[in-house]
Structure 1
Amino acid sequence: MKKTVCRYITISMLSLSCVGCSVSKFIPENQYLLNDFKIESDNKEVKPSQMNIYVRQHPNAKWFSLFKFPMYMYSASGKDSTKWVNRFLKRIGEAPVIYSREAAEESRAEIQKAVQNMGYMGAQVDLKEETDGNKIKVYYMIRSGEPYIVDQITYDIFDGKVRDYLEADSTRSQLYPGMRFDVNRLDEERQRITQLLQNRGYFRFNKDYIVFQADTMLNTYKVGLTMKLQPFQSKEKNKQEKHPQYTIRKVHYLLDADFATLSKNELKGLDSICSGGVNLYYKNKLFLRPRVLTDYNYLNTGKLYRNRDVQNTYSALSRLHILKYSNIRFEEIMQNDSTYLDAYISLSKNKNKSLSFEIEGTNSAGDLGAAASVSYTHRNLFKGSETFTIKLRGAYEAVTGLEGYTNSNYMEYGVESSLNFPEFMFPFLSSDFKRRIKATSEVNVKYNWQIRPEFERTLAAASWSYRWTKRQKATHRFDLLDINYIYMPYTSAAFDAYLDNMDKVNPLLRYSYEDLFIVRLGYTYTYNSAGATSLKTSQRNSYSIRFNIEEAGNLLYGFSKLINKHPKEGEAFQLANIDFAQYVKADFDFAKNFMIDDRNSLVFHLGVGVAYPYGNSKSLPFEKLYFSGGANSVRGWRVRSLGPGSYRGDGNSIDYVNHTGDIKLDLNLEYRTYLFWKLNGALFVDAGNIWNIRSQGIQTEGLFRFNKFYKQLAVAYGLGIRFDLDFLILRFDGGMKAINPMYTGKDRYPIVSPNFKRDFAFHFAVGYPF
């Protein structure tokens, strides 16, 4: 044993020596490899992490903030560029960063300037170099000194109307006596005032018209601050003018025409109509109804120009899928010493129709298969940018682990159709309300037919929902009505026998395989602090929240109670002689992304879900039950193979129906790092499980108890690879069980004595797990 350990230590030391030698050959004589840098500050108000952006030269990237593997790969190459191996290693690796004193001095000066702009005008930054062989570590030492404080604020604004606007909005000012003389805060105030005035008709106003004059008092750290409004720069030199205030005179829409390439005479040659005070110019045929454009226009004639109205118009037009892009230009008009704007809004038409094909791989509880679909889209069905989509889908999987069946094929056929309206569609609503809420409406109809060896299952669904976004960060979805009809036309004798046998273990399981109506409504709120969501993670610290709540059956149950106090037959009220579900369900997800540097981040995720059946239901519908394990949960387990609680199951392929619950908890921690080329890596630790609220027959190990649930948390760890294709992220994760609540004794802790065949799970997925 000792010899083996010594051998590993010797090999490791030799490997490190070889790496050091290979790196040294790329370091010129009398120069150094930039090994690291550190920023130190003597003031808690000046945080070193805020100064990292001013450092011009960074050391080589580290995988997981530990290993400079890209540099080692580059250094393993030879200098002969004719060999493909050398070219390949240099392409996927990273050249050693040779220390530049000029870049370090520029960084020192930039940091010093940044600290001085924070109000520490006497701040100094020292540069210290520490060498170790052919490596160097650089220190930036910040000595901030005393801050300068704003003692008094005065205003020099000769334009009375502008002064009135600023006084009326003074409560939102960023400036006050006693504040630190922070140049960044002054710039924020300039931006605020610019935005204020641009929404009060000042089309030509920009922040350069606002200047600050600072007067430092002798032998003190106090500053007298004066904000001055510069006069408008007119064509007549040396003449101070007040800033002009513009009023919208006319609004013109140009459909499939660009104002920049057309003269006014050419506009007269186009077909035109006037609707709602807006002029529409078009060629040959108007592809949108005039009312649509007037409803999506926020530039009102006769009112002051507001930049907010311009942005609202852009935002509204972006909801019209028939448009490829839109562009708004203004022409200034002088009339009787008054200033006006004529707006020209150019709209470019998108393709009306499209046809797409898609092929995908499927993985259900470990059974692999393939699916194909074809979709047809019409983006302007009723000339109001209504988007109609119909999709046909077929899938096949080879089901494994079934005994007693001659046929082991799983087939699925489906058709889905949707119609999206770019406005809030509901009777008796005013146009003003629809304009304010800025919502889209969607109608969905779906039919799905599943053919398994054990049973056939059909699902028919129809829904009406609304979606709207606020400030590009928060998204709301309201499902006004969602009707699902589940019909089981066939179950095999073997499956019926299985359900009969499971009645002793889980008497509510049969409920999941009966004909059922689900009439639900729900609300979903999603917030992402980084703005519009994308496949890639944010390049700064961010967080996201998702909350969903839904209920089903309450109105039907109340109506049934009014007609009949008790069900006529059976234990549940029925709709069209079919039981309907009654439950309430709530989910909460939180994810926090901590950016360590531009190549490394740490992501934490918490997911909690609770569903409770009552009234007309003894159990949740199968589609609404929670499951654990899989690519987006505890990755040491296959999908639908964990829980509830410490329930182990019998390993039968049908047993996945028992691995369901009413409560779910997911805890995930993932360290993400950039590797090379288009590859990213991840280290993760997952924990979680599912539980039942009510006892399921003799299956008591899955019952949720406050004094016991934390002992039933499953824990997994593993490695992942992400293949970033820009438009798509392919994810490969390998997870190992660390704590397995299904077992007792030493088998409960496979992290101590792992069994690869028993404890490993591989997952392939698209996109990040959270």
Structure 2
Amino acid sequence: MRGSYGLMHYWAKIGLLLLMLTMLGCNTLKKVEDNELLLTKNSIYADDEKITDEDIRSLIVQKPNSSVLGYPLRLNLYNLAKDNPDSSFTDWLHRKEKREKRLNNLLSQKQVNRLRESFVVKGASEFLNRIGEPPSIIDTSLTQKTVDRLQAYYNSKGYFNNTGSFDIVRSKRKKRAGIEYKINLEKPFMVDTVITNITSPELDSIYNKTVEQSFVKEEDQFDLLNFNNERERLTILFRNSGVYNFQESSINYDILRDTTLAADDQLMDVQLNIQKPRSTNDSTAQSPYRIHRFKKINVFADYQIVGNQDSLNTLEYGNYTIYYNNKLRYRPKALTDAIFFQKDSIYRDLDRIRTYRQITNLNTFKYPNIEFIPDSTQAQLITNIYLAPRPKFSLNLDFDVTHSNIQQVGTVFGATVITRNVFGGAETLNISARGSIGLLKNPSLSDETFTSELGGDINITFPRIWFPLNTEGIIPYYMLPQSRFLVGTNFQRNLGLDRQTFNTVLSYNWTPSLSLKNNIELMNVEFVRNVNPDNFYNEYRNTFNNLDVIADPFDTDPQYASFFEDSGDTDDPFRLSIPDGANGFVQAVLNNEIPVSTDNFNEVNSIEERRQRLTENNLIFASNYTFTKNSRTDINDNDFYQLRVKLESAGNLLSALEDVVPYNKNDDGQLLVFGVPFSQYIKTEFDYIRHWELSETDVLAFRSFFGLAVPYGNSESVPFVRSYFAGGSNDNRAWNPYELGPGSTDNINDFNEANLKIAMNLEYRFPIAGDVKGALFADAGNIWNVFDNEDNPDAVFNDFNSLADIALGTGLGLRYDFTYFVFRLDVGFKTYNPAEEWSKRWFRNYNLSDAVFNIGINYPF
């Protein structure tokens, strides 16, 4: 770990040195001619009011060179490139009379020609040209094009009589200038009357029922966006009201006013025209649009393009006709539940979309093909749904190289066998096996330096809510309901105390809309067995060292000699033996057999409680509900929010059965199930993420998190696997994982955790050069103990004064965008450290030698 840490420092210093050389050694105007002006700023004024709206500013054709924190990095990288590296090399070669001859004799003429094409001579300039950016020279033709765009934009907002111009404003600095765009808007035009011309009586009736929802309203200012929104609204309305073939191109508007004439009222009449559909073969209009109903719905369950449909078998199920080869492999209800068309009902485009989504959600068929055959005389539809099955079995193999909080490097391998349509109801069965081998980050934590893990699970997914009661009325099939039942186990070797985990999950999830998702884990049972509890003091060295310091005054006393062993260290020749000596010494102190101070007694008591907690086996029988809302429309949407709320309760069912099932109890009065005290707690989490798109390239990202787990009843603390930690690449990046907190304590344990967490992150993301992007961030937060058996006042959240323990880390990061994922390197500095004394909390370790480097994949939030 020390070697990799030093290597990071080395490359960080090299990067800073190169950046400084770039900043000091470049002339921004190097490639700007005397008769040219470098564009430094664009301003837009509408009726003397400065416009800051990014949508309007995006209309500007020519923009200044990009900058990183105000410095034109890409421009100066471009200036470093030679304009004609071949000519420069030739001039250098011929600058001295015998230089070319000597080089030819030394390298040969062929190698000299290769030198001309090398990276040093030519490739470096080509690379700098590629990642750099040429100077943005003011071009009046592009400037006039921007004026035309701005005028067109304000025309679309009803300012039909606007005029535009631009001024080039020279800077006091040499060969630099800005451009001011000025638009005189004049008075906007208003909608006076909206009249309709709808050729179809049925469409006219539908429109009149929803006219109050129209985006185009009388007395509103003319806005082309409203007209486009109204066209979209009417298209969706008609297609969901039975008009399956409605075309948006059938809608147009006439402005019944000469807008070139000046008028005081600036009013206009608008006529909505909805014409007959156009023929697909020519431009002639067909008969008016009509409302269609379903006459027949056919489902082809084993569709093959080259197959003979005449040889298919048929099955009438409800109002559906199912076609299949030989034997129907699917229960009819599993197929019809995924189809939202009903015989004799009107066509709705919404049902078509839901049918596509639900069939795809079955994970049994390829993307379906739905065909509509109209009967124009009766306005009816025959619907054919073609389902091409996926393979019954498939095999997925995975191999990854990982880096985690505990492992310096690891290899992960796995295999999954997927079986589809297990019981004939489109169920999916996954049987997975996985394993890993890793190298510990800090070999001093254990005698062995490698970790291993082996696990597997059986996971079956049902495309419906698998529950004794009928839930279709509450969770209809268009919400894509799924039930999942999982049974798994995992074995970890030399990771902590060597752990075996057995877990069972029964969960339900459904999606009411594209932005909402619900998940209920009705049963989440996890049994954690620590295989090697005697290895506690070997793994948690900080805890052991604290205990050994307390024991030092007694290591030469003969009556306590059995607790110690020869350490081989001249400064500290005796130390507690592990595990017998450490455990024996702790029990002797707690039994008042060894006299220690009150502070040391409390410290030993805290160590013993922690040892028992981390070495005891855990049985967690929990249920939870998670609600997620995400306003992001697609991967390119950089202005969105995401909210996640989770509620979890553990142990309540087992506790309620106490009067029915006779439980055994341990010495502490805890109820035992299979000889293990079950955990009982309630837990809640709130996670909110917000992104603001500051410009086309810059994004401000914010995240806040609050989590609280309160033990009660059968537990005095929350299980380690359900507690919180702070620090790491996705949390407070100025601290390593598990290093921060709890409260104002100073890394008292090897893995610090608690049951209350508050975290906030703010990150400004900006481009640097090409696919290389940068970030400035500030991470704040901490963990505390509350409502549990922790009695260290520095670790406990008492009141709002404890918010002074919130740590602050700031730093910068580099990202490289590989399109499919982002590689991330962050450097964090401890800006406010609550573990220090009050006078030393701010900027005490704010230097590169104390920085924390984090490597991650994709953005942290």
TM-score band, normalised by shorter chain: 0.7 to 0.9
Alpha-carbon deviation of 1:271?
5.7
- 1:482 to 2:524 alignment: yes
2:127 to 70, 88, 105: 88
Give the SS at the match of 2:724.
Answer: coil
1:412 to 446, 453, 467: 453
Alpha-carbon deviation of 1:742?
0.8
Structure 1, unpaired ranges of 5+: 1-10
Give the SS at the match of 2:369.
Answer: strand
Q: Partner residue of 1:298?
A: 340
Alpha-carbon deviation of 1:183?
1.8
Alpha-carbon deviation of 1:738?
1.0
**Which whole-Å CA distance do the structure 2 matches of 1:339 and 1:753 have between them?**
77
Matches for 1:165-204 after TM superposition, within 5 Å:
165-204=206-245
Q: Partner residue of 1:72?
A: 76
Alpha-carbon deviation of 1:613?
0.7
Alpha-carbon deviation of 1:356?
0.7
**Which whole-Å CA distance do the structure 2 matches of 1:291 and 1:186 have between them?**
44
Q: Quickly say closer, same or farther: Cα 1:662–1:507, change in 2 above 3 A.
A: farther
Task: Tell me which amino acid in the other structure corresponds to 1:311.
Answer: I
Q: Partner residue of 2:68?
A: 63
Q: Work out the number of aligned pairs and report it.
A: 739
Contact 2:41 2:178 in 1 (8 A): yes
Q: Partner residue of 1:373?
A: 413
Q: Quickly say closer, same or farther: Cα 1:72–1:755, change in 2 above 3 A.
A: closer
Contact 1:506 1:699 in 2 (8 A): no
**Which whole-Å CA distance do the structure 2 matches of 1:606 and 1:616 have between them?**
31
Contact 1:666 1:686 in 2 (8 A): yes
Matches for 1:493-642 after TM superposition, within 5 Å:
495=537, 500=586, 504-505=605-606, 508-509=609-610, 510-531=612-633, 538-560=636-658, 570-642=668-740
**Which whole-Å CA distance do the structure 1 matches of 2:19 and 2:384 have between them?**
70
Contact 2:710 2:788 in 1 (8 A): no
Give the SS at the match of 2:803.
Answer: helix
1:141 to 182, 192, 202: 182
Q: Partner residue of 2:781?
A: 688
Q: State the Cα deviation string for residues 402-426 of structure 1 (Å, max 9, x = none).
A: 8796445443322223112222222
Q: Quickly say closer, same or farther: Cα 1:404–1:143, change in 2 above 3 A.
A: closer
Give the SS at the match of 1:314.
Answer: helix
**Which whole-Å CA distance do the structure 1 matches of 2:284 and 2:857 have between them?**
64
Matches for 1:2-17 after TM superposition, within 5 Å:
none
**Which whole-Å CA distance do the structure 1 matches of 2:495 and 2:772 have between them?**
41
- 1:716 to 2:812 alignment: no
**Which whole-Å CA distance do the structure 2 matches of 1:44 and 1:706 have between them?**
49
Give the SS at the match of 2:347.
Answer: coil
* RMSD between aligned residues: 3.3
Q: State the Cα deviation string for residues 9-39 of structure 1 (Å, max 9, x = none).
A: xx99997685336x533x4674444333222
Q: Partner residue of 2:47?
A: 42
Alpha-carbon deviation of 1:614?
0.9
Alpha-carbon deviation of 1:164?
2.2
- 1:666 to 2:712 alignment: no
2:742 to 644, 664, 671: 644
Q: Partner residue of 1:309?
A: 351
**Which whole-Å CA distance do the structure 2 matches of 1:13 and 1:392 have between them?**
51
Alpha-carbon deviation of 1:196?
0.7
Contact 2:454 2:492 in 1 (8 A): yes
Alpha-carbon deviation of 1:326?
2.4
2:750 to 612, 633, 656: 656
2:819 to 726, 730, 733: 726
Q: Partner residue of 1:211?
A: 252
Task: Tell me which amino acid in the other structure corresponds to 1:210.
Answer: I
**Which whole-Å CA distance do the structure 2 matches of 1:15 and 1:579 have between them?**
64
Q: Quickly say closer, same or farther: Cα 1:114–1:575, change in 2 above 3 A.
A: same
1:24 to 21, 27, 30: 30
1:341 to 371, 381, 385: 381
**Which whole-Å CA distance do the structure 1 matches of 2:800 and 2:344 have between them?**
68
Give the SS at the match of 2:219.
Answer: coil
2:144 to 87, 91, 105: 105
Give the SS at the match of 2:58.
Answer: helix
Contact 1:373 1:391 in 2 (8 A): no
- 1:447 to 2:489 alignment: yes
Alpha-carbon deviation of 1:627?
0.3
**Which whole-Å CA distance do the structure 1 matches of 2:241 and 2:724 have between them?**
53
Q: Quickly say closer, same or farther: Cα 1:17–1:605, change in 2 above 3 A.
A: closer
Alpha-carbon deviation of 1:91?
2.0
**Which whole-Å CA distance do the structure 1 matches of 2:59 and 2:365 have between them?**
42
Q: State the Cα deviation string for residues 613-639 of structure 1 (Å, max 9, x = none).
A: 111110001111110000111101100
Pair member with larger Rg = 2
Q: Partner residue of 2:561?
A: none
Structure 2, unpaired ranges of 5+: 1-17, 87-116, 538-578, 588-602
**Which whole-Å CA distance do the structure 2 matches of 1:242 and 1:491 have between them?**
80
| Sequence identity percentage | 24
Contact 2:27 2:79 in 1 (8 A): no
Contact 2:44 2:182 in 1 (8 A): yes
Q: Quickly say closer, same or farther: Cα 1:765–1:240, change in 2 above 3 A.
A: closer
Alpha-carbon deviation of 1:752?
5.0
1:425 to 430, 449, 466: 466
Q: Quickly say closer, same or farther: Cα 1:493–1:512, change in 2 above 3 A.
A: closer
Alpha-carbon deviation of 1:370?
1.3
Q: State the Cα deviation string for residues 240-294 of structure 1 (Å, max 9, x = none).
A: 84322222233334457577x89xxx53355655544444455677665543322
Q: Quickly say closer, same or farther: Cα 1:475–1:230, change in 2 above 3 A.
A: same
With normalisation by structure 2, the TM-score equals: 0.79
With normalisation by structure 1, the TM-score equals: 0.87
Task: Tell me which amino acid in the other structure corresponds to 1:157.
Answer: I
Q: Partner residue of 1:359?
A: 400
Q: Quickly say closer, same or farther: Cα 1:214–1:503, change in 2 above 3 A.
A: farther
